[in-house]
Each structure stands twice: as C-alpha cells, then as structure tokens.
C-alpha cells in the first residue's frame, strides 16, 4: 500500500508519481498540482493521461491537461486528483492514523481488495507505454525544445519563482515561430 502526502508543488512527473500511489492526501495551504506538459508541446508521459481521465472524467482531465495550469489542493480534491485536502497541521496525523488502521487488518483482505480494484480501475501497461512513446516523440519537435529551453533559462527545476507558479509561467510563454496549434 502506498500513500502520498503532498505539502508542496507536485507538477509533471511529481504529480504522476503521486498518481501512481494508492492514496493521495495534500496540505490545503501548501499543495499545488500541475500537469504542464501541453504548455511546452508534450503530453503527460508517465501515466497522468490514463490516471486523471479515470479519476476525473474526460472533461476535467482535458481541462487540467490542456490548461497546463496550477490547481490548489481544494480544487484537486473536488476534481478527484487527490483523496483529501486537509489543513496542514492535520495532514500527517490523519495519514499516520489511517495507515496504522489499515495495517491492523488482515493482509490477505488488503491485497485482494487492492488487486480487484486495480483490475477495474488501472490502465493497461500498453496504454501507459503508448503515452510514454508519444511523449518521447514530442520531445524532438523544435517548438517543444524551444519552450523547454526558455523554461530552463527561467529557473525550471530549481528553487525558483518559476517553479512556485509553474502553470502561470507556462501560460506566459510566447508562441515560438513556426509553432502549429494542430487539431484543436
């Protein structure tokens, strides 16, 4: 059983890591979620397309992925991205108590329930692999490379203001010459 506790920014692969966990709980005051890949010309390539669509439904998943914006914990909770948003002071005690409660139950019941739910709700490995392959192909596009270079120059993957408001930064990127909007 895996439980994610998010008390900061979970964007891109960080969000996808949390989505791969069985349960997700977040700080109401500090957690921010982003799937920003479309803003740089990519698709989420590590499971978010599959997981968010199943968790949120098609329209909300499209909103999240196509907006490439930041989502606070309360909205992420309403959309189904996370199980619950809790006040920061209650987050760890709540998750600790839940984990301890679950740990008291017979392991067979936990394992079999998780297996059956996974069979119903999780995407196939082939579906996730296809998303990864599309992501890799999109990395070769000149407009994607230019957008990523601009974000790295602005502080991407550092402790920077850009990272603190990643969705806003992606939304402020200027169109790159030769960019094609594709089939919108």
> Going by C-beta distance under 8 Å and a sequence separation of 6 or more, which residues neighbour residue 18?
4, 6, 10, 24, 82
**Set 16, 29, 90, 163: catalytic member:** 16
Tell me the pLDDT tens digit for each residue of 50-69: 899 999 999 999 999 999 99
Strands 23-27 vs 3-6: parallel, antiparallel or unpaired:
parallel
| Catalytic residue list contains 119 | no
pTM over 0.85: no
Per-residue pLDDT of the chain (184 residues), as tens digits, is 999 999 999 988 899 999 999 999 999 999 999 998 888 888 888 888 889 999 999 999 999 999 999 999 999 999 999 999 999 999 999 999 999 999 999 999 999 999 999 888 888 889 888 988 998 899 899 988 888 888 888 888 888 888 888 888 888 887 764 455 555 5
Per the listing, tokens 């619950």 go with 84
77 classed as catalytic: no
Q: Which of 11, 131, 13, 30 is nearest to 68 (CA)?
A: 11
Candidates 29, 37, 90, 119; catalytic one: 37
Structure tokens at 4: 């994610």
């Amino acid at each position: 059983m895996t439980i994610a506790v998010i008390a900061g920014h979970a964007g891109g692969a960080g969000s996808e890591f949390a989505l791969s966990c069985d349960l997700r709980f977040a700080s109401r005051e500090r957690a921010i979620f982003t799937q920003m890949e479309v803003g740089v010309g990519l698709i989420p390539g590590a499971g978010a397309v599959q997981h968010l669509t199943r968790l949120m439904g098609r329209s909300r998943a499209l909103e999240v992925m196509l907006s490439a914006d930041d989502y606070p914990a309360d909205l992420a909770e309403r959309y189904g991205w996370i199980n619950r948003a809790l006040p920061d002071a209650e987050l760890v005690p709540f998750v600790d108590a839940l984990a301890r409660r679950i740990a008291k139950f017979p392991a067979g019941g936990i394992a079999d329930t998780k297996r059956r739910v996974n069979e119903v709700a999780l995407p196939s490995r082939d579906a996730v692999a296809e998303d990864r392959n599309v992501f890799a192909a999109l990395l070769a596009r000149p407009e994607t490379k230019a957008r990523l270079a601009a974000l790295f120059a602005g502080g991407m993957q550092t402790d920077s203001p850009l990272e603190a408001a990643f969705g806003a930064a992606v939304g402020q990127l200027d169109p790159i010459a030769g960019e094609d909007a594709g089939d919108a």
